[in-house]
Amino acid sequence: MEALQKSAREALENHKAKVIIGYSEGSGGRMRPIFVQSPAEAEKLTWNDRCTQNLAVYIAKPEVQKLGKPALVAPLPVLRAVLQLASENQIKEGDLLVLALSDGRVTELSQFSEMEEFVAKTPTHLASKDQEAIERLEKMTPQERWQYWQSELTRCFKCYACRAACPMCYCSRCTVECNQPQWIPVPAHPLGNWEWHLMRAMHLAGRCVSCGACGDACPLDIPIHLLTMKVEADIHREFGSQAGMKVQSEHALSSFKVQDKENFII
Amino acid sequence: MARIGVFVCHCGENIGATVDCARVAEACRKIPGVAHSVDYKYMCSDPGQTLIREAIAQNKLTGVVVAACSPRMHEPTFRRVCSESGLNPYLCEMANLREHCSWVHEKSDVTTDKAIDLVAMLVEKVKRNKPLHPIKVPVTKTALVLGGGISGIQAALDIANAGHKVILVERDPSIGGHMSQLSETFPTLDCSQCILTPRMVEVAQHPNITLYTYSELESLDGFIGNFKTRIRKKARSLDEKLCTGCGLCTTKCPNKKIPSEFNTGLGMRTAIYVPFPQAVPNKPVIDREHCTYYTKGRCRVCEKVCPTQAIRFDQEDQIVEHEVGAVVVATGFTVKETDFFPEYGYGKYKDVINGLQFERILSASGPTLGEVKRPSDGRVPETVVFIACAGSRDPAKGIEYCSKICCMYTAKHAMLYKHKVHHGQAYVFYMDIRAAGKMYDEFTRRAIEEDHVQYIRGRVSRIYERNGKLIVQGADTLLNAMPVEIEADLVVLATAGVANEGAEALAQKLHVSYDSHKFFVEAHPKLRPVETNTAGVFLAGACQSPKDIPESVGQASGTAAKVAALFSMDELTREPVVAVVNRTAPPLYSTCVGCFLCQSACPYQAIEREEIKNRNGQVVKTIAKVNPGLCQGCGTCVAFCRSKSIDLQGYTHEQVYAEVMELLS
Amino acid sequence: MSEFEPKIVAFVCNWCTYAGADLTGTSRIKYAPNVRIVRFPCTGRIDFMLLLKAFSQGADGIIVSGCHPNDCHYTSGNFHARRRWMAFRNLAEFMGIEVERIQFSWVSAAEGAKWADLVNSTVNRVRELGPYDAYRQMAASSWQ
């Protein structure tokens, strides 16, 4: 914690960054993002297991961009989101500084190559509770899975907090806002919810850094992050690629190998 | 409001006997937006077409659905009919009632119901069709020919003689390719150099041909009719304008022991060299890897002796740029070296050579001046064994294909050997004799019957040395696999013809596909053998697969005809079925967010970056842009784009969505 | 009397499977009339959203078919489609969609008989599975 505050203070004092985007204590035991612009404020920065929001979501926001070059407090998923955004041409080298967190240490990273090295050294497996949840679902019969997701997704009232929390959902016009044709029905009814969540997971295929921020953001605690995590895990297993590891990487679904598996095609 | 016309064709009995066409027409009349719906015996006949023409005029139709045969059959016909009636041809769609309905189902109400569904689906599509206009792209009437072997030479000359400019690029210091290395050619046995060198000179002197030798393709961008190419002219280390080709430098160069590439390592050359006497251009290059000045920093003998002071030690590679409209790839092939064959001694026996090396031994201009002498000790070999299919047709060696030229040149080799060494004994081990071609079978028969070459049907399992002889162990499968052992003085392997080293990298630069053996792939194996799947890039010669000279020349002329046909037009007309990135009002400009993940999904490199600038010229957004000249309309990007910012004309989101929704309503 | 007749929608590419289905016609090979073909330039163009739309509109089964690997008219559209199908199919399965109602296939322009077999086998399988009531009910309950 002190190391983080010290790094942040130095970054501001040495003019390496104009604003530190980090976590601070919010209300009701929840963490909230904080935008630290002066060295004195750095002491408000904190870091603990409750910091689940993916701060990379703020990088592209015009309000944040106005503040000047940011330094991002970055646990692994945030760092991977930064790399994935870079690979999708959303940020450029030098646009931001990263204060990477791991094992209580803080590492200042400015080059994408440094971030790639850092990520490559850190294990990227899913949290055990998510892994277990996915496995539990996989063991169910198709009917049970259908029932499970029907009951879960029917509760959704389409607040789109999941979309707002996801650093990869940066489109200026989401497909749900397309009305010619109306791909996804507007109302929060079972079909509209079903298609929205299935589409969201497909749109994150090969791009999801498995941070789980979408599920944490859901006010109804619908475990929608399991959908994107499952797709991502399958892609990693089948095609060997993982989102947010390298800037110059081929996106899993816009590349291919001739020998890709096809045992489901006759 | 849409005013759609539906025209249901009986196709005589073909549709009419199975589908109740009158009921289809009647049902379609009730679809909202259908202003006219009729059935008729033969829509594609003259009266049928007239019926459509009149209906378009009388009912002021805004779209047409012809429910008849497959659109793959008559779509052009009916689109033309619409066009003639003043309706944009892309406002016409066809419902496939014949191949997809009447011919595959029994006569029943269910079949008629299906027919109605199919027409209704297309009605919903055509309601959303937009008028499209063929895309025109200009044509730069200059061809880039890569490779100065016989294929490249032929293609370049044909295109140049048709009146178009040609840029011919050759990697080696001289044009001529493999053909210049050959002794005599089958089946006529005329001297290769004698028929080739006049062509080489013609290339050099042709006013329409710009020749870059000792040069390689650096990059190719753009699309058919409009390519931009960068060519690397490697430093020859001399001023070509000053050099007269007198050759004094090559005689004085003290570094004389460098294996000659042209003589397949059987002869030596100097560090400053002309690959062979008839080289075009007849200007030397300095081989910097071996030149004493470059390796040790002193010598400069060539500089001192050069009468025109043409030597330039500090010359650097030069990049030249050209705009071209078409590219002919004629980069040829290579043959496997003897070290590829562990069973034949891994290349360690000096007297086991490959076919190309034997060509040099037979050649009057070769290292032995045409006398058959074996490499190890210069003795005339009394017994020569030729092994066909060395590597070829051998899945265990990873080369499943037939190299095609070996049967013929092996017969030629054996024949020429017998002509030069009358008392010598020639054996050929073969799998099959593949001598299909004009005068080819006669040629191989001549080798057997007149020149008494002994053909043994079987493979050679092993070669080893014993007392200065090569012991060739094989089997004669026509004699019940009887073991055969021959004491040979020289063994010639007809090694497999394989793709050039670097073929893969070149294919990637050209954006053409290649097969598992790195040979370039034609657009269609039968009907488009000289085109590639990249429009404007054509193939000639052995870079596509091993070929003999007549075939290579024939293909090169075919390619040249394709290029000439392309250049006969000032503008190209392309189908407007292409992808388009949407544009919206500022400040959004487009819903595209510029992630460019579509770029790698595009098989044609058709997606570019477009910078949107504000009034002050500042870049405010970078979005994807589809180059309509390159786009072939597959729509892979469209299905891939998350924000639905790309759409495919002719198969838009709205169209396909409406089709699916209608089908199941 | 009213045996269940499944509704099958086929999403096919123009160059291979559509042409293959044309060949089925020219060869006069009969197959079940339950299928409706929607024509696309390439399997690469087929949006997974259309598959969802088909189910929501009452399709009982879906066929998606294009050129064999390496045969794509556009060189690689089918390879891209194949990866997308894999991701989609796994996700659909994870969400409890009855993926055995979706048949992915390669049918070339020369495989007229294969197209007939593909349609017949898909129709038979879906007939055994019965109407896709679960999906239909979800859709129906939404529009009430």
Q: Is the distance from CB of B543 to CB of B500 less than 8 angstroms?
A: yes
| Distance, CA of C18 to CA of B228 (rounded, Å) | 37
Distance from CA of A135 to the nearest CA of C (A): 10
CA neighbours closer than 13 Å in the CB half-sphere of residue A19:
18
* Element containing residue B579 per DSSP (H, E): strand B579-581
Q: How do the residues of chain A divide into helix, strand and coil, expressed in percent and rounded to 5?
A: 45, 10, 45
| Distance, CA of A21 to CA of A73 (rounded, Å) | 6
The total number of residues written for chain B in this structure: 665
Region at B389 (left for phi over 0; alpha for psi -120 to 50; beta for the rest): left
Task: Output DSSP code: residue B379.
Answer: P
Chains with ≥3 Cβ pairs under 8 A against C? Answer: A, B
- The minimal CB distance from C91 to the residues A148, A201, A239 is found for A201
- The minimal CB distance from A254 to the residues B601, B622, B654 is found for B601
Reduced to 3 states (helix: H, G, I; strand: E, B; else coil), residue B111 is: helix
| Distance, CA of A231 to CA of A239 (rounded, Å) | 12
Q: Cis ω on the peptide bond leading into residue B281 (within 30° of 0)?
A: yes
Reduced to 3 states (helix: H, G, I; strand: E, B; else coil), residue A4 is: helix
User: How many helices and strands (H and E) does chain B possess?
Assistant: 18, 34
The residue with tokens 């701060």 is A55
Task: Output DSSP code: residue B172.
Answer: S
Tokens of B201: 């000179």
Chain-chain contact of A89 with B654 (C-beta, under 8 angstroms): no
Q: In Å, what is the CA distance from B434 to each residue of B377, B392, B406, B513?
A: 34, 13, 9, 29
Q: Does C136 touch chain A (CB under 8 A)?
A: no
Chain-chain contact of A266 with C82 (C-beta, under 8 angstroms): no
Q: What is the ipTM of this complex?
A: 0.96
CB neighbours (10 Å) of residue B474? 23
Q: Does C34 touch chain A (CB under 8 A)?
A: no
CB neighbours (10 Å) of residue B445? 13
Alpha helices (H) in C9-111, listed in sequence order: 17-26, 48-56, 77-94
Render pLDDT for B627-657 as a digit per residue (tens, 0 to 9): 988 888 999 999 999 999 999 999 999 999 9
| Distance, CA of A65 to CA of B146 (rounded, Å) | 50
Chain-chain contact of B103 with C18 (C-beta, under 8 angstroms): no
* Element containing residue B259 per DSSP (H, E): strand B258-259
Averaged pLDDT for residues A99-108: 88
Q: Does A203 touch chain B (CB under 8 A)?
A: yes
Chain-chain contact of A264 with C89 (C-beta, under 8 angstroms): yes
Reduced to 3 states (helix: H, G, I; strand: E, B; else coil), residue B399 is: strand
Reduced to 3 states (helix: H, G, I; strand: E, B; else coil), residue B8 is: strand
C-alpha torsion sign, points A7, A8, A9, A15? positive
Q: Does B18 touch chain C (CB under 8 A)?
A: no
Domains in chain B (CATH in brackets) are 4-127 (3.40.50), 142-234+317-332+500-567 (3.50.50.60), 248-305 (no CATH), 334-498 (3.50.50.60), 579-648 (3.30.70.3270)
Using the predicted structure, report yes or no on whether residue C1 has a pLDDT greater than 60. Answer: no
* CA A62-A66-A72 angle, 5° bins: 85
Taking Cα atoms as reference points, which of A38, A51, A43 lies closest to residue A101? Answer: A51
* Element containing residue A21 per DSSP (H, E): strand A19-25
Domains in chain C (CATH in brackets) are 8-137 (3.40.50)
A64: Cβ contacts below 8 Å, ≥ 6 apart: A19, A21, A35, A58, A70
Displacement of CA C18 from its chain's centroid (Å): 12
Reduced to 3 states (helix: H, G, I; strand: E, B; else coil), residue A239 is: helix
Task: Output DSSP code: residue B360.
Answer: H
List phi, psi (to 5°) of C36: -120, 125
Q: What is the pLDDT of residue A49?
A: 87
Nearest CA in chain C to B579: C45
Q: Is the distance from CB of A183 to CB of B644 less than 8 angstroms?
A: yes
Q: Does B642 touch chain A (CB under 8 A)?
A: yes
Nearest CA in chain B to A87: B595
Q: What is the pLDDT of residue C2?
A: 62
Q: What is the pLDDT of residue B127?
A: 96
Tokens of B518: 């790195």
Q: Is the distance from CB of B474 to CB of B456 less than 8 angstroms?
A: yes
Tokens of B421: 């060494």
Reduced to 3 states (helix: H, G, I; strand: E, B; else coil), residue B165 is: strand
Distance from CA of A72 to the nearest CA of B (A): 21
Region at B402 (left for phi over 0; alpha for psi -120 to 50; beta for the rest): beta
Taking Cα atoms as reference points, which of C68, C26, C41, A88 lies closest to residue B643? Answer: A88
Alpha helices (H) in B59-102, listed in sequence order: 71-84
Distance from CA of C122 to the nearest CA of A (A): 11
State the pLDDT confidence band at A139, using cuts at 50, 70 and 90.
very high
B259: Cβ contacts below 8 Å, ≥ 6 apart: B265, B267, B268, B269
Q: Report, as ranges of residue numbers, the positions in chain B whose pLDDT lies below 70.
A: none
Partners of A242 in beta bridges: none
Angle between helices B549-567 and B150-161 (to 10 degrees): 30
Mode of pairing for the β-strands spanning B165-169 and B135-138? unpaired
Chain-chain contact of B104 with C84 (C-beta, under 8 angstroms): no
Alpha helices (H) in chain A, listed in sequence order: 2-13, 62-65, 76-87, 112-121, 128-139, 142-154, 161-165, 190-203, 213-217, 225-239
Nearest CA in chain C to A187: C142
Task: Output DSSP code: residue B394.
Answer: B
Chain-chain contact of C95 with A265 (C-beta, under 8 angstroms): no
Chain-chain contact of B101 with C50 (C-beta, under 8 angstroms): no
Q: In Å, what is the CA distance from A156 to each residue of A162, B41, B133?
A: 11, 56, 46
Tokens of C107: 């049918």
Q: In Å, what is the CA distance from B216 to each residue of B147, B204, C46?
A: 9, 18, 40
Tokens of B368: 């032995």
Mode of pairing for the β-strands spanning B209-212 and B165-169? parallel
Mean pLDDT of chain A: 93
Chains with ≥3 Cβ pairs under 8 A against A? Answer: B, C
Q: Is the distance from CB of B55 to CB of B36 less than 8 angstroms?
A: yes
Q: Does B648 touch chain C (CB under 8 A)?
A: yes
Q: Is the distance from CB of C101 to CB of C60 less than 8 angstroms?
A: yes
Q: Does B608 touch chain A (CB under 8 A)?
A: no
CB neighbours (10 Å) of residue B584? 13
CB neighbours (10 Å) of residue B303? 17
